[in-house]
Structure 1
Amino acid sequence: MNYILYAVPFFFLLIGLELLADRWRGMRTYRLADALNSLSAGVLSQATGLVTKVVGLLTYAFAWEHLAVFTLDAGSLWVWVFAFLFYDFCYYWNHRLGHERNVLWAAHSVHHQSEDYNLSTALRQTSTGFIFGWIFYLPMAVVGVPPLVFLSVAALNLLYQFWVHTRHIPKLGWFEWLFITPSNHRVHHAQNPIYMDRNYGGVFIVWDRIFGTFQEELDEEPVVFGVTVPLASWNPLWANLQVYAGLWSDARRSESWWDRLRIWFMPTGWRPADVAARFPQEKADLSRFVKFEVPLGRGQQCYAALQFVVYLLGGTWLLAQAEVLTPVGMLLGCAWVALGLYSIGAWLENRSWAIRLELLRLLANLPLLALADAFGMLTAGTSVWTLLAGYLLLSLIGLWGVRRGSSVGPTLAPPV
């Protein structure tokens, strides 16, 4: 069962309630562009996961079938309890090393790039974590945890983590000693030096207390959210590539072949000495910290939000169809999602070429629908083509109206 798919309506219900709490308490924990960027990263992660999750599933199933030391019964409650605890222990080390090694941070950094902290941040997930993430859970397969149990406790662990991404819940007394809470997870998302690289557990905080990585949220040290090398973009594709690009650039610039190789596996932030000397990086000054923002008119914001809803619905449909989609269909669906979210990101950044890209994206829906029909993803009957024509017409009218009502201004984002 795909627990994440069934949880999607509840995610957005709780986000709506948090927005109401924002208004009621006079807080401002949401910005439209930041929230859309987080949600776009989540949609992209789920869409690409249709193709990439097979890596972890196949390796786990192979290890369980050929290397399992014990035979554990999936019908036993104690096996489920054991697996739930064991998974969180493995998650702790996956998460911790995701902060302590360059190549692992390149994947995990996506989740930390938001400079706001709200429930939409919880859905901000990586699309490249599959590359190494599977390694950390192989001990569960060797012990004999059945794949069905593994997948289920993994989903439950992820679902638990949703509610802790909020600023509206204070410390929770004794609960803080055993479990991950909004307070100790706010610490995890901070870029303050005292808070950085702390509180790695998914469900249980006890691992952090045992292994010396726990840090309490302090009243005298307000949390500053985000990463020390800001993303400075609303593009979910660039969010997934930024750190990889930086590592590749440093590796390419280094004169040492040994440094070019080891940079990927060195502690986070490590750079070859010759590169660091020639291309120094400034340390973030949190006393002058300003959140990344690109001014947008109300019409531009509404257009972006409505276009995102289309891709949210499309991405949800892809998840629902995962069991019947062919590999070609999955790749086609991923391409459609990636193009759309990239275009929305460019629009939110107020790029000078964003309107031309939007026109290209809208027109690309026609051949993509024809391909989807050809590969059996859906039956493109008259009603489907009529619906698409209506969507394109309304989008073009909206695009024309927004263009008339606003002018393209300077962007604060660096060229991508």
Structure 2
Amino acid sequence: METYGKILLIAMPAFLLLVLFEKWYGWRKGFDTVRNMDMISSLSSGITNVTKDVLGLSIAIISYGWLVDRVALVTVPDGWLTYAIAFLALDFSGYWTHRIAHEYNFFWNNHIIHHSSEEFNLACALRQSISSIVKIFIIFLLPAAVLGVPDKVIAVVAPLHLFAQFWYHTRHINKMGFLEHIIVTPSHHRVHHALNPEYLDKNYSQIFIFWDKLFGTFQEEREDIPPVYGITRPVRTWNPIKINFQHMWLLTKDAWRAADWRDKFRIWLMPTGWRPADVAEKFPVYKIDDPYHFEKYDPKVSVAMHVWSWIQLSMCLLFISYLFGNIAQIGSPGIFVYGLFVFLQVYAFTDLMDRNPGALVWEGMKNLFGISIIIQQGDWFGVSQYSPLVKPMLIGYFILSIVVTAWFAYAYLRENRQLSVTV
């Protein structure tokens, strides 16, 4: 937990700089693939994901350590070969985990956030799940366990394997020659993120593309079919926490509404998108039928709202940087209190990005929670040791934040009322 937090203190600024560089590069070349609010939503999703991971909010039904202790037939020698085998085993496991997440209703909820952006850029790579609390796919690491690859090697290689999937989320790199036959390239992954019928449920591989070719799920990017990004049931929100549980909420409602008891149970493991016929008829859900003619989610907001959203995101990054750098000092249960504050902060400002006046309620809860922490501790998790000015500055931020949010919320409420009168 503490080690991973230290790694993220280095990785987060690097990823942020690369995301901003892609934005600048696209603007410079006249091919900007990064919309501001979409980027902030993606970065916010990344914040919630790494916070969940650092807090250890996930449970493995079978741990890799337990598995290797019971099935290892040999022990690979310590050295580069062990790490190479671990990397390949993680890639094999990643292919099947990824494929199952796409092909079954229940598991799609854990992955929908990653495909929710209607753009394709480095920022959307950071859209990662917070809803995958229970992990059941350790079994796919069976090849590594049989070879006796130690769990500490898997622990080292796993973050590297994950970070290596960041770079190919871009539209600025075309096909890469002979590498197209070996590794996953931006061209391959553009296909994977597309909602075109020709591209759906293809190219699940994470590092090596040969898994898709071996298991029959490969699709090359075609010049005559430009990829259109997103999901066929668009999420229509910038709030990453809502997105994470949107599909599960739909499944729950559909199971409750289904007249046939068989449908109530089988809906969970049916192919992704399946709904009971009676429920689909009575409660239709909007679905994109023509990928070339639909309106991207883009609620119109002022320049001030764009600026304020960046201020809130920047504050959130400062908060989690302090958390990741001081995990041992904050300790338990303090880190979970801190994590709850971060989640409230993300929920509040991304809800405001949706022009939702109700965001004021969440912002009020966040700020009252923050001030109550300061009152109860007489500090903000020990930050006063660095400067006595930080505490009053935080109180000032909480007050400013609720005032500004109230101003935006009132403006949106007034505009919504005027619009309803006009209609």
Q: Name the TM-score, length of structure 2 as normaliser.
A: 0.89
Matched, 1:265 2:269: yes
* 8 Å CA contact retained: 1:46, 1:315: no
**Residues 153, 408 of structure 1: alpha-carbon distance in 2 compared, 3 angstrom cutoff:** farther
C-alpha distance after superposition, 1:266-308 (max 9, x if no partner) = 2111222332343344541223211001111111111111011
5 Å-filtered alignment, 1:392-403, equals 392-395=398-401, 398-399=404-405
Aligned counterparts, 1:308-327, within 5 A? 308-323=313-328, 325-327=330-332
The equivalent position to 2:300 in structure 1, one of 284, 295, 300, is 295
Please say if residues 188 and 197 of structure 1, whose CA atoms lie closer than 8 Å, have aligned partners that are also in contact: yes
Q: Following the alignment from structure 2 to structure 1, what is the Cα–Cα distance between the partners of residues 322 and 70?
A: 35
- Work out whether residues 299 and 402 of structure 1, in 8 Å CA contact, stay in contact via their aligned partners in 2: no
Residue-pair matches, total = 409
Q: Which residue of 2 aligns with 1:341?
A: 346
Spell out, residue by residue over 1:5-57, the C-alpha distance to the aligned partner (whole angstroms, 9 max, x if none): 42212111211211121111112311121111111111111111233455249
Question: Residue in 2 aligned with 1:88?
Answer: 91
1: CA distance, partners of 2:27 / 2:241: 31
Output the CA distance in 2 between the equivalents of 1:106 and 1:360.
Answer: 27
Whether 2:18 is the aligned partner of 1:14: answer: yes
* 1:331 and 2:336 aligned: yes
User: Aligned letter for 2:291?
Assistant: L
Post-superposition offset of 1:341: 0.6
Deviation at 1:343, TM superposition (A): 0.4
1:100 to 71, 86, 103: 103
CA distances 1:154-182 after superposition (whole Å, capped 9, x unpaired): 11111111110111111111111110111
Q: Choose from 219, 228, 232 the match for 1:228.
A: 232
Distance 2:88 2:199 in 1: 25
CA contact (8 A) 1:91 1:202 kept: yes
| Amino acid aligned to 1:90 | S
Q: Please give the alpha-carbon distance, in whole angstroms, between the structure 2 residues aligned to 1:183 and 1:88.
A: 19
Q: Is 2:54 the counterpart of 1:59? A: no
Mapped to 2, the partners of 1:401 and 1:278 lie a distance apart of 39
- Amino acid across the alignment from 1:107: N
The worse-fitting range, judged by mean Cα deviation, of 311-320 and 299-308 is 311-320
Kindly provide the amino acid, as one letter, of the partner of residue 185 in structure 1.
H
TM-score (norm 1): 0.90
Q: Which amino acid aligns with 1:343?
A: A
Deviation at 1:324, TM superposition (A): 5.2
Q: What is the identity, as a one-letter code, of the residue corresponding to 1:89?
A: F
Contact 2:68–2:150 (CA<8 Å) still a contact in 1? yes
CA contact (8 A) 1:98 1:105 kept: yes
Given that 1:373 and 1:379 are in contact with CA atoms closer than 8 Å, whether structure 2 keeps it comes out as no
Q: Deviations over 1:297-335 (max 9, x none)?
A: 111111111011111222233233345553422321221
Structural mapping, 1:107-186, within 5 Å: 107-139=110-142, 140-186=144-190
Q: CA deviation at 1:410?
A: 3.7
2:21 alignment partner, SS class: helix
Assess if the C-alpha contact under 8 Å between 1:332 and 1:372 holds in 2: no
Equivalent position to 2:192, from 185, 188, 193: 188
Give the gaps of 5 or more residues in structure 2. Answer: 418-423
Structure 1 window deviating more from structure 2 (357-366 vs 394-403): it is: 394-403
- In structure 2, the CA distance between the partners of 1:144 and 1:161, relative to structure 1 (3 Å rule), is same
How much does 1:127 deviate?
0.7
Structure 2 partner of 1:414: none
* Distance of 1:372 and 1:184 partners within structure 2: 51
Pick the aligned partner of 1:214 from 212, 218, 224.
218
Partner of 2:420: none
Q: Are 1:386 and 2:392 counterparts?
A: yes
Contact 1:52 1:130 in 2 (8 A): no
Structure 1, unpaired ranges of 5+: 412-416
Quick one: structure 1 residues 58 and 96, their matched pair in 2 at CA, closer, same or farther if it must change by over 3 Å?
closer
Equivalent residues of 1:115, 1:225 under 8 A apart: yes
Partner secondary structure for residue 395 of structure 2: helix
User: Hey, what's the Cα distance between the residues in 1 that align with 2:241 and 2:126?
Assistant: 15
1:56-97 C-alpha deviation (Å, 9 max, x unpaired):
497222323344333344x31111111111110110000011
Pairing 1:368–2:373 present? yes
Deviations 1:324-356 (A, max 9, x none): 553422321221011001101111011123345
TM-align CA RMSD = 2.6
Moved more, 33-42 or 382-391: 382-391
Identity of aligned residues (%): 35
Return the offset for 1:408.
Answer: 5.2
Aligned partner of 1:315: which letter? I
Q: 1:188 to 1:324 in 2, by over 3 A?
A: farther
Moved more, 227-236 or 330-339: 330-339
| Distance in 2 separating the partners of 1:238 and 1:221 | 31
Distance, in Å, in 2 between the alignment partners of 1:308 and 1:29 is 20
Whole-angstrom distance in 2 between the partners of 1:389 and 1:282: 43
Distance (Å, rounded) in 1 between the aligned partners of 2:69 and 2:353: 48
